[in-house]
Structure 1
């Protein structure tokens, strides 16, 4: 699942996907509303239901091999909620992997927000920039999921959190000492090399190693 922030999409996972076992079928879903004239979901339930339908369609109706959902940052929120919806409606879910996903209303997430946006603005210089559609879609999506807290699940969950904080942005308060994410109702929490952005690219091989090792341990 791609995050809800602008300038993210399937390319976010390109390096990580290449580091995962070659026998795995990997695909990426992006939240709706970030393209011109693409409608936004009216509610969180509508957002999750649409993503769940897309996941089910991607399997061709084959439920013999349960799906694994993964998301980085806010994409982890979408992966977690979509997996719960699938499980509640009879689609087997093997596991969910959250990559440095935060509860958006947590003190740690709020303290990191200026550093996160500084990093996104730095990335903007290497792309076409933010559009009004990007920013309005982000603002709406953030309102839909900002109260999210992970609920208990019938499937195992892995939280991989970054070993390094984001670089402090100019003029912002220093990164707090308790900046790392912590989530309730998670089966396993591990720390992987990199920061919020680099754990899925420069350090993707380490993250892939944690994921494959954990899934192997599940049997």
Structure 2
């Protein structure tokens, strides 16, 4: 029996939080458009969490016992007259099958990779464009719940294989040359695999 209906209370909570976020954004800004953007962003982030979380797999019904056919009685009598040694492998096989571990009814199947990838990209797209700090934080939390983390390597040594140079900042301090001064756009990693490199500003030696 599937436990899918248990998601409805969570959906109600997300809907309430979305409305609350929209109203709070409208009251803080005094602009209906900003409030509407806050409402839509909160609703989308809540829906993304519900969809990205894996859904429980329904339990497999137990097979009903099969009654022997009427024509099988002579075969059964013939089998009883056979030597006892010939029935030993059959008994051993039945014993192994009876004691074999069965998957629990509440086992969870992994989410579909194509669907998960698309939803993660949508969340990142929204995260790059929202102007509300509350919505940005909510999207970061939704991404973190499915294993996606932000990459903001401020202060690290610039590595062109992991970072994208967006600008340069002159400096006379030789210890800072080649390090990352600021992050212009954060990158994202999915369970340790880089999805998008961060765009960074790099310290460069001041000329003259």
Q: Considering only CA atoms, is the larger Rg found in Structure 1 or Structure 2?
A: 2
| Structure with more helix by fraction | 2
Both structures adopt the same fold (TM-score exceeding 0.5): no
| Structure showing greater relative contact order (alpha-carbon pairs closer than 8 Å, 6 or more residues apart) | 1
TM-score of the superposed pair, with normalisation by structure 2: 0.25
